[in-house]
Structure formats: C-alpha cells, structure tokens
C-alpha cells in the first residue's frame, strides 16, 4: 500500500515537471535504464499484456532497471488506477500522466506501448526503444496464443550488455491514448 501511495507522489512530481528533468525524478539514482509502460485500465490489449510487463519488471529489478506503469488517459482516476494496478501488478509503481508530460516527451501513441530510456551523455535521457511489448497482438482482433518475440526484454538485455537496441519491426497495436499530450 505504501508503494502505491508513493507512486502517486511521483505522479505529481512528474506531471508538474515537464521535460528531461521529469525522468530524473522517475528514475532512482544509479538506474541503468528506465522502462515506461503506457497502460490503460479500459484497454483490453493493455490488460492482456500486463503479465509480460510484470515479468519484465520482476526480471530486471535487481539489475538497475526502473519500470513504471504510466496511465496517460484523461479519464483515469487515482482510485481507479489503484484498483487496476492491484489487480494486474500490485508490486508495480504507477504514474498518472493526464496532463500529457510523459506522452509529449516520449511520443507514446497507444496503450500498451513501451519506451526504454537510458542516460545520455548530456546528463538527460534518450529513447533507445519505443514500440510494442511483444508480438502477441498482430493487429486489433488478431492475437497469437502466446508471444514469440519479447521486444522490451530484448531491448533491456541489449542495453545492459552495451549492444545497440533493435527497433520494433511491426506497428503498434492497442488503444489510442486520450491525453492532453497526445497527437
């Protein structure tokens, strides 16, 4: 419960501070990478992808990878986010982004969408991956029984190994973000 409460404090900090500085407040000191999963409580594609997002969070937590679930839609409430997060990944940290600060910064368009960021030489953050979590959804209405490729996991492994990150080979599949920052 304390973790969920703290995540809403982070939410206020992030939404009040647009730009690169916001990511410094999201990440913990010494973070090797930040993964932002853009999610929505009312998006079935997002909800069906939660087990993979949770697996990524748990797999890399001890390796300096910070994972945050970003709820970007204007209609999301703090109470609704708490209930949703408790159902899908009670151990995950959430960020509300109804004002669109993180959406504008990352150019996220749908839920679920993943953005992997690393520190840049200039002291800020740069995006090294933006795209699907995995390939489970081919397009809306067509879903594989299980993912065959895990794009975020591969991107994080590449970051940790110092290798270039491979771009998502497909198009985004999900629900449109409805946020003040969405384009």
Those residues with Cβ within 8 angstroms of residue 66's Cβ, 6 or more apart along the chain or in another chain: 26, 27, 28, 31, 33, 34, 35
Mean pLDDT value across residues 125-153: 91
* Backbone angles phi and psi of 162, in degrees to 5: 75, 20
* 72-111 tens-digit pLDDT: 999 899 999 999 999 999 999 999 887 888 999 899 999 9
Q: How confident is the model at residue 65 (pLDDT cuts 50, 70, 90)?
A: very high
CATH topology of domain 2-176: Glutaredoxin (3.40.30)
């Amino acid at each position: 419960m304390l973790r969920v409460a703290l995540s809403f404090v982070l939410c206020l900090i992030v939404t009040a501070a647009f730009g690169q500085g916001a990511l410094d407040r999201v990440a913990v000191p010494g973070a090797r990478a930040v993964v932002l999963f853009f999610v929505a409580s009312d998006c079935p594609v997002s909800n069906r992808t939660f087990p993979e997002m949770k697996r990524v969070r748990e797999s890399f937590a001890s390796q300096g990878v910070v994972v945050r679930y970003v709820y970007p839609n204007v209609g999301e409430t703090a109470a609704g986010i708490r209930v949703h997060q408790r159902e899908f990944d009670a151990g995950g940290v959430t960020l509300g982004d109804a004002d669109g600060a993180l959406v504008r910064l990352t150019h996220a368009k749908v839920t679920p969408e993943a953005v992997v960021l690393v520190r840049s030489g200039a002291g800020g953050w740069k995006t090294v991956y933006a795209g699907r979590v995995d390939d489970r959804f081919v397009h809306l209405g067509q879903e594989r029984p299980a993912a065959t490729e895990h794009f975020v996991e591969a991107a994080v492994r590449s970051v940790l190994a110092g290798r270039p990150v491979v771009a998502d080979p497909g198009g985004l599949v999900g629900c449109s973000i409805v946020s003040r920052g969405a384009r």
